[in-house]
Structure 1
Amino acid sequence: MKRPSKERLERLRRAFQPGMRVRLVRMEDVQAPPAGTCGTVLFVDDLGSIHIAWDTGGNLAALDGEDMVERLSGDSGNA
């Protein structure tokens, strides 16, 4: 996986802050919760992966550039 630029990483961390609520739009992973599942952002790591505690009980990161989550605070974001 390619590391995001410093600017991209800063934008992701501003857009997906710990405690923010999100909804899964798309994730290509056999362990992914169903689309539409909500969760709470835990943190964004140095690779730009958004770590999320899903309401279904699991923790699985959304990968920047591959998966898509939307912020429930009004604006949507791609990750």
Structure 2
Amino acid sequence: MVEGIADLVYREDDGDLVIVDYKTDVGVTGETLEAYWTQLSVYADLLARATGEQVSVVNLVFARPWAAHIMRRRNTP
């Protein structure tokens, strides 16, 4: 069972789908970061199954009061 919500899904001008998940954690460990990438990979797989389209990129956005830090990964099915 998977529980979660993708915060944002959008289509690039070239037609590629992108998933964005916002995080507000202050301290993130390497283990936590890998768990987030796994989470986004599951979202991408489920979206691909539901739509028949592939997700090309997944993004983590760490929202901080002083700035946002964005981490981007190409999704490889």
Bigger-Rg structure (1/2): 2
* TM-score tier (shorter): under 0.3
TM-score, normalised to structure 1, is 0.24
